[in-house]
Amino acid sequence: MAGMIKHIPVMLKEVLKYLSPKDGETYVDATFGNGGYSKAILDAANCKVIAIDRDPTVENRATELKKLYGNRFEFRSGCFGNIDRLIEESVNGFVFDIGVSSMQLDEAERGFSFAKEAPLDMRMSCCGITAADIVNTMAENDLADLIYRYGEERKSRQIARKIVEHRHNKPIETTTELAAIVYTVLHRNKNTIDPATRTFQALRIAVNDELTELQNGLRAAADKLAPGGRLVVVDFHSLEDRIVKTLFNTLGGKTAGVSRYLPETPVTKTPLFANVSKAIAPTAEECAFNPRARSAKLRFAVKSATDETNNLENKGDEHD
Ligand SMILES: C[S@@+](CC[C@H](N)C(=O)[O-])C[C@H]1O[C@@H](n2cnc3c(N)ncnc32)[C@H](O)[C@@H]1O
Residue 305 has pLDDT above 50, yes or no: yes
Q: Does residue 7 have its Cβ closer than 6 Å to ligand 1? A: yes
How does pLDDT run across 165-219, given as a tens digit for each residue? 999 999 999 999 999 999 999 999 888 999 999 999 999 999 999 999 999 999 9
What 3-state class would DSSP assign to 250? helix
Query: Mean pLDDT lowest for which of 55-69, 84-98, 243-257, 304-318?
Result: 304-318
CATH topology match: 12-103+210-319 vs 108-208 = no
The torsion angles phi and psi of 45, rounded to 5 degrees, stand at -155, 165
Instruction: Indicate if ligand 1 lies below 6 Å from the C-beta of 38.
Output: no
Domain residue extents for the chain: 12-103+210-319, 108-208
Q: Give 236 or 190, the one with higher predicted confidence.
A: 236
pLDDT digits (tens, 9 = 90+) for 82-127: 999 999 999 999 999 998 999 999 899 999 999 999 999 999 999 9
Question: What local confidence, expressed as pLDDT, does residue 312 receive?
Answer: 40
The residue contributing the CA closest to ligand 1 atom 25 is 55
Q: What value does the mean pLDDT of the chain take? A: 91
How far apart (Å, rounded) are the C-alpha atoms in residues 188 and 253? Answer: 45
| Annotation: CATH topology of 108-208 | DNA polymerase; domain 1 (1.10.150)
φ/ψ region of 311 (left if φ > 0, alpha if ψ in -120 to 50, else beta) reads: beta
Residue 300's Cα: distance from chain center in Å? 14
Question: Residue 49 pLDDT > 70, yes or no?
Answer: yes
> Which CATH class, in words, describes the domain spanning 12-103+210-319?
alpha beta
Q: Which atom of ligand 1 is nearest to the CA of 124?
A: 25
What pLDDT shows up at residue 311? 44
pLDDT of the residue at 23: 98
Strands 26-29 and 48-53: parallel
Does position 140 have pLDDT exceeding 90, yes or no?
yes
pTM of the prediction? 0.91
Given a cut of 90, whether residue 1 has pLDDT beyond it is: no
Mutate to test the pocket of ligand 1, among 5, 34, 53 (most ligand atoms within 8 A of CB): 53
Q: What is the pLDDT of residue 259?
A: 55
Given a contact cutoff of 8 angstroms between Cβ atoms, the answer to whether 70 and 48 are in contact is no
Position 5 scores a pLDDT of 59
SS3 call for 151: helix
The beta-strand segments (E) located in the chain are: 26-29, 48-53, 73-77, 91-97, 225-235, 254-255, 265-266, 273-276, 297-303
